Structure 1
């Protein structure tokens, strides 16, 4: 008899693959998380410039980054979209990545994936691109986790099928077809009449006759399998084929689906069988497991919203016995193939079986850590000998004793499916801690920044850790290297900076940050052009009228003065060294006056502006009289500065 086919009867035989799924994200909550980020006045300034019809690639970059670092992902996405549409050939790959991240925060996963694909195409050697392409050798990864279990056959196996162990008092409840002799006449359709039943055993007993079948209310002439008893011992949840009033219930394709049921213990007997409210005649629900606190029920299903043949879902169980709405655990856990047989340990580790994640063959057992109700941690193959080239499933584990059980249809078994006992000798490493350290400094002065905030942000833009720099500007933290993280440095009065770290082997890493001053720190004598990150205001040779390509930069200064009515500036204009010194002094004065006149024509009061020409007295390079320089080098000296007076 084909052992593989026997397993296919008791796992979910789901026929319909749902390939579309999206998970909405609460953006308001994310925004509240990052309200403490330093707000840059540049947002208002750049918006004013855009509203006046002046747009450039640099302006959109700066505006998009301002929104991005302040976690306003909707506005960031809108700005980056415009940037890519109008200047897609003139920008670097980083803007595709930030656009992708912004879209992800808005729940638009399809568009986010498209942008990530473009980012990957532009940055073949970037770690993020490598992660996106999924180029890791999964066999090497499985090998690292192998050899951690000592296993032996379950004492109560028979030549028939035993699987689906679950803890019950001092022993187990498990599923078997031992009393029906299905080994010889098993028919692999959903309407076979002789199927699996639930049994219980005291695992400390040496008497094999101590194995007893659960009551007739639970066991019927269809399948009963995969069970869990609540922590108070009052309720038994289990899986059964769709069967009601002595009749088989089929879907439109003639398939008898699986359903979840609950029995109540009354005077030592499991009775009062009730269907769970989210069952259906058109899809299957099966294989129950509870969270350690008993408030969340996990199960497998192909209900609408599934990614693949079967997905793992969770549902809240309320104190009054009612249930919430089932939720798909998401694409980190679920794939287009089968994810099934969940189990949650006391340390909130989710174990499940899958043939969609990289494995050794058939169904493999995987594990992932659940933290803060999220299911986005790395999924880890538990390795050999629990996993094999055959199907390995229904894994359960006691964190206190480090002992557990699982089932497999591997060749060396006694029956069709066999239960195996195991002892974990080396703990499975689910969290990869990587030490990160560094220093935060002022980019211009190189001064260390004491009390700067350094945050770890995950790929869903959620904060997972924060610290501050010490008296030497140093920080230390640890990240989970099984996943991608952003390390972000912030300081009041400075523009935030961040580094992305993808999945890694966990080697210590040093990240030093050099923060640029924010506009809010502007004071007497500062050059507003530098604070606003303006491009240089250039003039043509022997000309003093403002060039078209410089108008947009002057408009930024105008927007700043409109935002801050008390701001007064002095326009300092300069020339290159060509021509007579006296002429250059006159020319630079005309350039300063031209700039001031332009700004007055745009509504800035004359009393708030001054202008002065310096000729060739303040060159910024070597191009003085008698020195041969290119036209580009001379052009750098034909500039205007905007010095804050008040």
Structure 2
């Protein structure tokens, strides 16, 4: 039972009967080789560089990537953690994301959340990050979701202390909320929370409720409103309210404020007015949670009126052609029990959905369905099971059976004794499609033969597709709705860099476009520096000594020479344009030789090395003699390069 018995209709003091509670690196070893120089394995080089005591942000990124893109997340996490700990100022957003994913995969959820928060702050994809956090803190719910017929996501978490009772209103959703931005404005003495009002929201991506605003007009009072239903033309609504009208609140003999169903019409200015209570209401019992059938000739509701079999039953009244109402009819023992039945909803296929804690369920209120056959006889009442139902209260279920999507309310993530209802969006038999085009980033041409991999939120491979001649790929009937995935494309035959994008799939029968443009290889076949992704080996002005930052890069060359005894390289060194041409030629020659000698002192056979200076004859930019350039521009020309000799 929740605080103050607020889920019991006979002791109601709030509005609800049953509510208000919750790549670079190694993609594959065989593919991670370089054209005719297939013996050069970058991962081995980087590992040996680190073992020799040399490190940089770039080394840790590349090492992490070689494991991450090969799904070796334990090792990936090791190097990414070193990256973010030692070089926090050089970490791009995508590396926080990869770190978070790797940590999550190995069970380090707390640290993963921290990384995702940094990713969110830097990328603005609070969104991609919030998403990842929910699945980490609700693992049991996630397991239930995957085991059941449906897929469901919380869409009002954090909106207010209580959000529930959704209903369709055209292409929008109307729901009850205790948000402080209400027209009533008062707070309830019982719990200090704002009274409930009815809000209307647009349906956003993944079924989210966007831009909620309180209904305009005479609907929201200083007390509670909830549980509405609308005619198809959108001009008439029935809704639940505390026993309050014309500025007065009425109590029953026990001094409790009961619930009543009211009717309102939409005026020419699109506000709601002409509020009147229905004739079968009473000050002695509660009537709540109206629901219309498909031809709008019958109004279903919940009540504890005389004749009820339990604490609250489902009833209906016929709506006459003249606008009058028939006598209330109890749906009988097939539906009603000695406990609570509430929140009826009639679908387009004439299925009656309702909540009950009297039928066999998982705990608290569960959602059930039964077919209406028109003759007063009901077929089997069926429990919708997890993840619609949980060990807590689940209620307010609505569904559009044509799109197989809908909403329900639950307090499953709340704390016992608290008020924490939320609205969940769900889909049945998710029909989401993930598709896209894989192209060359520079030319835009389709990349036939590329491999596209779909990975789940745990970085496990879900499916793989090989791109056809038009560059297109498609994953159909594989992905779950409202779930985070990553789509990764690679083309190892042509040595393209892998590309990965994350997404959260929509809810329903929808397609999501994820195009991937791969960066083409730009390394000359004999450029060892490019193949090992060396940072430039720069020299200070008029100097030929090896700088500390250059030693990190030379360590990579050293490891390559050790790993592959047949490797012979030629060192080319250059100067900027300042100074005499002849002097610059001599200076570049000294730079080439100092580079060679560094490697020789580390144990490389001199016969495997040649070196030559080229002065200022091969400038990288426009900074030739007489051109005014910055020191940074001149620095680009003071460099050494490494070429593989045949």
Question: By how many angstroms is 1:104 displaced?
Answer: 1.2
Does the 8 Å CA contact 2:489/2:516 hold for their aligned counterparts?
no
Question: By how many angstroms is 1:476 displaced?
Answer: 4.5
Cα 1:609–1:175 shift into 2, 3 Å: farther
Does the 8 Å CA contact 1:440/1:489 hold for their aligned counterparts?
no
Are 1:159 and 2:163 an aligned pair?
A: no
Equivalent of 2:518, from 510, 514, 522?
514
Cross-structure match for 2:499: 497
* 1:549-608 deviation digits (Å, cap 9, x = unpaired): 110011112222223332222111111112222222222222112111111221222232
Question: By how many angstroms is 1:503 displaced?
Answer: 5.3
Cα 1:604–1:173 shift into 2, 3 Å: farther
Cα 1:117–1:458 shift into 2, 3 Å: same
Cross-structure match for 1:604: 604
1:572 match: secondary structure: strand
Cα 1:135–1:516 shift into 2, 3 Å: farther
Q: For 1:80 and 1:121, locate their aligned partners in 2 and report how far apart those are by CA, in whole Å.
A: 18
Mapping of residues 107-186 of structure 1, within 5 Å = 107-124=107-124, 127-129=127-129, 144=203, 151=293, 158-161=307-310, 176-177=337-338
List alignment gaps of at least 5 residues for structure 2: 34-40, 134-154, 167-171, 175-200, 208-228, 233-290, 315-331, 342-355, 365-380
Q: For 1:601 and 1:7, locate their aligned partners in 2 and report how far apart those are by CA, in whole Å.
A: 90
Are 1:441 and 2:602 an aligned pair?
A: no
Equivalent of 1:380, from 415, 418, 425?
425
Cα 1:2–1:575 shift into 2, 3 Å: closer
Does the 8 Å CA contact 1:442/1:449 hold for their aligned counterparts?
no
Cross-structure match for 2:558: 558
Cross-structure match for 1:488: 488
Does the 8 Å CA contact 1:351/1:365 hold for their aligned counterparts?
no
Q: For 1:490 and 1:121, locate their aligned partners in 2 and report how far apart those are by CA, in whole Å.
A: 28
Cross-structure match for 1:459: 457
Question: By how many angstroms is 1:498 displaced?
Answer: 0.7
Cα 1:642–1:607 shift into 2, 3 Å: same
Cα 1:135–1:486 shift into 2, 3 Å: farther
Are 1:4 and 2:2 an aligned pair?
A: no
Question: By how many angstroms is 1:364 displaced?
Answer: 8.1
Cross-structure match for 1:638: 638
Cα 1:42–1:339 shift into 2, 3 Å: farther
1:552 match: secondary structure: helix
1:226 match: secondary structure: coil
2:120 match: secondary structure: helix
Does the 8 Å CA contact 1:488/1:498 hold for their aligned counterparts?
yes
1:643 match: secondary structure: strand
2:7 match: secondary structure: helix
Does the 8 Å CA contact 1:623/1:629 hold for their aligned counterparts?
yes
Are 1:227 and 2:360 an aligned pair?
A: yes
Cross-structure match for 1:283: none
Question: By how many angstroms is 1:356 displaced?
Answer: 4.9
Mapping of residues 48-447 of structure 1, within 5 Å = 48-124=48-124, 127-129=127-129, 144=203, 151=293, 158-161=307-310, 176-177=337-338, 225-227=358-360, 300-301=390-391, 310=392, 338=393, 354-356=410-412, 379-380=424-425, 431=430, 433=432, 436-441=435-440
Equivalent of 1:468, from 458, 466, 469?
466
Does the 8 Å CA contact 1:434/1:480 hold for their aligned counterparts?
no
Cross-structure match for 2:371: none
Cross-structure match for 2:369: none
Cα 1:156–1:340 shift into 2, 3 Å: closer
Q: For 2:421 and 2:363, locate their aligned partners in 1 and report how far apart those are by CA, in whole Å.
A: 21
Q: For 1:164 and 1:613, locate their aligned partners in 2 and report how far apart those are by CA, in whole Å.
A: 93
Cα 1:474–1:239 shift into 2, 3 Å: closer
Q: For 2:597 and 2:466, locate their aligned partners in 1 and report how far apart those are by CA, in whole Å.
A: 47
Q: For 1:135 and 1:38, locate their aligned partners in 2 and report how far apart those are by CA, in whole Å.
A: 46
Question: By how many angstroms is 1:84 displaced?
Answer: 1.4
Cross-structure match for 1:385: none
Does the 8 Å CA contact 1:450/1:473 hold for their aligned counterparts?
yes
Does the 8 Å CA contact 1:174/1:227 hold for their aligned counterparts?
no
Does the 8 Å CA contact 2:446/2:470 hold for their aligned counterparts?
yes
* 1:356-379 deviation digits (Å, cap 9, x = unpaired): 589xx999897xxxxxxxxxxxx5
2:526 match: secondary structure: coil
Q: For 1:341 and 1:577, locate their aligned partners in 2 and report how far apart those are by CA, in whole Å.
A: 77
List alignment gaps of at least 5 residues for structure 1: 18-33, 166-170, 178-194, 198-222, 229-237, 241-286, 302-309, 311-337, 367-378, 382-427
* 1:83-135 deviation digits (Å, cap 9, x = unpaired): 11111133223222221111111122222222222322333366425757989
2:435 match: secondary structure: strand
Number of equivalences: 423
Q: For 1:107 and 1:114, locate their aligned partners in 2 and report how far apart those are by CA, in whole Å.
A: 14
Question: By how many angstroms is 1:49 displaced?
Answer: 0.9
Cα 1:288–1:239 shift into 2, 3 Å: farther
Q: For 1:441 and 1:224, locate their aligned partners in 2 and report how far apart those are by CA, in whole Å.
A: 58
Q: For 2:313 and 2:608, locate their aligned partners in 1 and report how far apart those are by CA, in whole Å.
A: 81
Are 1:614 and 2:626 an aligned pair?
A: no
Q: For 1:570 and 1:540, locate their aligned partners in 2 and report how far apart those are by CA, in whole Å.
A: 22
Cα 1:482–1:155 shift into 2, 3 Å: closer
1:4 match: secondary structure: coil
Cα 1:164–1:350 shift into 2, 3 Å: farther
* 1:184-243 deviation digits (Å, cap 9, x = unpaired): xxxxxxxxxxx799xxxxxxxxxxxxxxxxxxxxxxxxx994338xxxxxxxxx989xxx
Cα 1:288–1:135 shift into 2, 3 Å: closer
Q: For 1:490 and 1:104, locate their aligned partners in 2 and report how far apart those are by CA, in whole Å.
A: 24
